[in-house]
Amino acid sequence: MQHLPIASPDPIPLPGPVWLLRTLLLLTFFLHLVAMDLALGGSLLAVFYRLRRKSEFARQTARDLAAKLPVMMAYTITLGVAALLFVQVLYGNFLYASSILIGIPWASVIVLLILAYYGFYYAAMHDEAGAGVRVVGALAALLLLAIAFIYVNNMTLMLTPGRWIALYRRHVSGWNLNLGERALIPRYLHMLTAAIALCGLFVVLSGIRQRTTQFGQWLIRQGAAWFAGATVVNYGFGLWLLLSLPARIRALVLGANGVATVLFGAALFLSLAAVVHALMLRAGRRPVANASVCVATALAAVALMVVIRDYVRNGYLPPGYQFGQLRVVSQTSIIVLFFVLFAAGLATVYYMLSKVAAARPAGDPASARQQKA
Ligand code: HEM
């Protein structure tokens, strides 16, 4: 511990107890993750469906996804800022150091985000999937892939202070990534594949709203296939990720820590249940009931994975680091104000989403209803 270049925690005391800030970090990160999955997964699926130009259903799906991507981006960014607030408060002395070490890619996230945002607006506003929209949509998706990669680099580097000095010496100007990290690629692929899976569920839900039409049924089958296929692939990436963790940390979810192990088992079980229901959906059985169970179990599995990720993160902290004993001077009024504004924010989001859900589905054009996918 004393040989590691970790700065002391911020001398300004925490405004609330560690358990509360940690809970809020997990909550806001879960929300960020769901929005990010829809933005990243949606951008990739839009690219895929734009390439299937012969199918009217595919073109319509690409248009529907494109129309929603700017909104998904807005949620991703806003909820990411909330998570960033808490992660900085709790792990500032780790995150600031790693952010400086990969300073150039890290700062470039802002530029990449702005460009991707423009790209999504362009694709949303140009209805006909001409070559321009296909190229711009694909570039914007690539930018999101790059942003996610930079995040995974920083989130892993902040946990490995033993690597900091060498990286600093290699490129003092911040031209670094954390490419020497064994868990980097499996962690990235795990996040990416989960994004495709969750966006598949989003496609299912769009189909459920118009399930009496051919287009709606096609959407349900497509979305269920994306979800089930991506999740099955993700068992492989998840296993790779687990094997790439240091043995001491891997052991946490494999028996050494009772709670983490139970949560890990429950997450696997829930994800399996979600896959089974997705397969039943794909077979056309009881769409509303199966979609509801599939979405509920999948979201519960993601929520548990967020908690497990937190166990893993804290497992990385150097032995002897006194996390949880940071100085606290509770500022009750500020915490109460935060909760009031947070609840109002969530209510506003719910209101906006319910308006979007109540709007007439853009899909199922008369022509599409007649055509075969
Ligand atoms: C569309 C753009 C974005 C994408 C694709 C994205 C993707 C990701 C991914 C993949 C992770 C997980 C990294 C890991 O665990 O290894 C992550 C975590 C995180 N993101 Fe985002 N992100 C985006 C935008 C943002 C923005 C704009 C912010 C805030 C300003 C943000 C804040 C965070 C924070 C704080 C975490 C870590 C939370 C924690 O460790 O508990 N993200 N993001």
- The predicted-structure confidence for 285-330, as pLDDT tens digits, reads as follows 999 999 999 999 999 999 999 999 999 999 999 887 777 778 899 9
For the cut 60, the answer to whether the pLDDT of residue 112 exceeds it is yes
Q: CA-to-CA distance for 71 and 120, rounded, in angstroms?
A: 10
Pocket around ligand 1: residues whose beta carbon is below 6 Å from it? 25, 29, 32, 36, 39-40, 73, 76-77, 80-81, 83-84, 87, 113, 144, 147-148, 151-152, 155, 187, 191
Closest ligand 1 atom to residue 83 Cα is: 35
Rounded distance from Cα 108 to ligand 1 centre (Å): 14
Percent of the chain whose pLDDT exceeds 90:
85
pLDDT of residue 368: 45
Q: CA-to-CA distance for 215 and 238, rounded, in angstroms?
A: 33
First to last CA, the chain: 60
Closest ligand 1 atom to residue 86 Cα is: 35
pLDDT digits (tens, 9 = 90+) for 12-58: 899 999 999 999 999 999 999 999 999 999 999 999 999 998 999 99
Q: What is the mean pLDDT of residues 265-275?
A: 98
Residues 6+ apart with CB under 8 A from 283: none
Q: What is the mean pLDDT of residues 61-73?
A: 95
Strand partners, 328: 14
For the cut 70, the answer to whether the pLDDT of residue 362 exceeds it is no
Q: CA 177 → CA 83, 131, 152, 171, distances in Å?
A: 22, 34, 10, 10
Give domain limits for the chain.
25-181, 199-319
Q: CA 353 → CA 160, 348, 356, distances in Å?
A: 39, 9, 5
pLDDT of residue 25: 97
For the cut 80, the answer to whether the pLDDT of residue 244 exceeds it is yes
Looking at beta carbons, which pairs linking 21-29 to residues 24 or more positions away fall under 8 Å?
A: 21/86, 21/89, 21/90, 22/86, 22/90, 22/310, 24/86, 25/83, 25/86, 25/87, 25/90, 25/310, 26/306, 26/307, 26/310, 28/79, 28/82, 28/83, 28/85, 28/86, 29/83, 29/86, 29/87, 29/306
Q: What is the mean pLDDT of residues 333-356?
A: 91
Whose C-alpha lies nearest to ligand 1, atom 42?
80
Rounded distance from Cα 217 to ligand 1 centre (Å): 33
Higher pLDDT, 82 or 365: 82
For the cut 50, the answer to whether the pLDDT of residue 367 exceeds it is no
Whose C-alpha lies nearest to ligand 1, atom 13?
152
Q: What is the mean pLDDT of residues 336-354?
A: 91
pLDDT of residue 131: 85
Rounded distance from Cα 150 to ligand 1 centre (Å): 9
Whose C-alpha lies nearest to ligand 1, atom 35?
84
pLDDT of residue 223: 98
For the cut 60, the answer to whether the pLDDT of residue 214 exceeds it is yes
Q: CA-to-CA distance for 283 and 75, rounded, in angstroms?
A: 33
Contact 368, 57 (CB under 8 A): yes
Q: What is the mean pLDDT of the chain?
A: 93
